């Protein structure tokens, strides 16, 4: 069905005890309520990508490793992405950057939104870095984002977003679906 938008919610952490999965499922539930949208959780941990081990740069599009080919097929299938990322040391987790760097053209002319979480800055510095990376990959990042506080949106290990977070997420998803749909014509 060509009119259905396919969105990936990419879990950007592989750490044991991570919060990305609970946050990602919350995003997935919201996005799945939208008519004409299919949404899938994409867990980078499931791909077991080693530190970049392709013999050629991703821009050549000639992948040698089976794990890279599987990752490329997954990412290429989507119209847009929601990156769910914690902030580690004022940036994104290494495994997320590694997963992004494995590919090149598969990312082009698509849209991305961001849901971050962290301590004092709620992951906003990680998103700043992701925006720069997305620009290099020709991904249109949307302005609205959701920045979750480990102190306010989590009750210990349990994810408990405040009620205002639903509205923030819906705003970001509105922008993401609009841009993801518009960029289809560019890819054609």
Quick count: other Cβ atoms within 10 Å of Cβ 40?
A: 15
Number of C-alpha atoms within 13 angstroms, CB side, residue 84? Answer: 24
Task: Enter the pTM of the model.
Answer: 0.97
Dig out the tokens for 1 from the structure: 């069905």
Would the pLDDT of 1 be above 70? Answer: no
Would the pLDDT of 3 be above 90? Answer: no
Q: Which of 72-86, 126-140, 143-157 has the lowest mean pLDDT?
A: 143-157
Quick count: other Cβ atoms within 10 Å of Cβ 176?
A: 27
The pLDDT of residue 157:
85
Q: What is the mean pLDDT of the chain?
A: 96
The pLDDT of residue 68:
98
Q: Which domains does the chain have, with CATH numbers?
A: 5-187 (3.40.50.360)
Dig out the tokens for 17 from the structure: 């005890």
Average pLDDT over residues 24-44: 97
Beta bridge partners of 184: none
Give Rg (Cα) of the chain: 16
Q: Are 37 and 15 in contact (CB under 8 A)?
A: no
Report the distance separating Cα 181 and Cα 36, nearest Å. 10
User: Can you spell out the DSSP letters for 49-109?
Assistant: PPS---SS-GGG----SHHHHHHHHHHHT-SEEEEEEE-BTTB--HHHHHHHHT-SGGGTT
Report the distance separating Cα 140 and Cα 112, nearest Å. 6
Q: What share of the chain is helix, strand, coil (3-state, %, to 5)?
A: 40, 25, 35
Average pLDDT over residues 144-159: 93
In tens, the pLDDT along 76-129 reads 999 999 999 999 999 999 999 999 999 999 999 999 999 999 998 999 999 999
Task: Find all residues with CB under 8 Å of 120, minimum gap 6, and list them.
Answer: none
The pLDDT of residue 120:
86
The pLDDT of residue 2:
65
């Amino acid at each position: 069905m060509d009119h259905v938008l396919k969105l990936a919610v990419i879990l950007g952490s592989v750490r044991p005890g991570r919060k990305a999965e609970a946050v990602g499922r919350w995003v997935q539930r919201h996005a799945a309520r939208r008519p004409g949208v299919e949404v899938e959780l994409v867990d980078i941990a499931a791909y077991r990508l080693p530190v970049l081990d392709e013999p050629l740069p991703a821009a050549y599009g000639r992948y040698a490793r089976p794990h890279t080919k599987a990752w490329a097929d997954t990412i290429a299938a989507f119209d847009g992405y929601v990156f769910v990322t914690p902030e580690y040391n004022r940036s994104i987790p290494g495994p997320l950057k590694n997963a992004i760097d494995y590919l090149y053209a598969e990312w082009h002319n698509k849209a991305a939104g961001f849901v971050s979480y962290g301590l004092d800055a709620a992951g906003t510095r990680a998103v700043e870095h992701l925006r720069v990376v997305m620009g290099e990959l020709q991904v249109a990042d949307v302005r609205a984002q959701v920045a979750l506080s480990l102190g306010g949106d989590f009750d210990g290990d349990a994810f408990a977003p405040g009620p205002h977070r639903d509205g923030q997420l819906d705003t970001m998803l509105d922008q993401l679906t609009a841009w993801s749909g518009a960029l289809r014509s560019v890819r054609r």
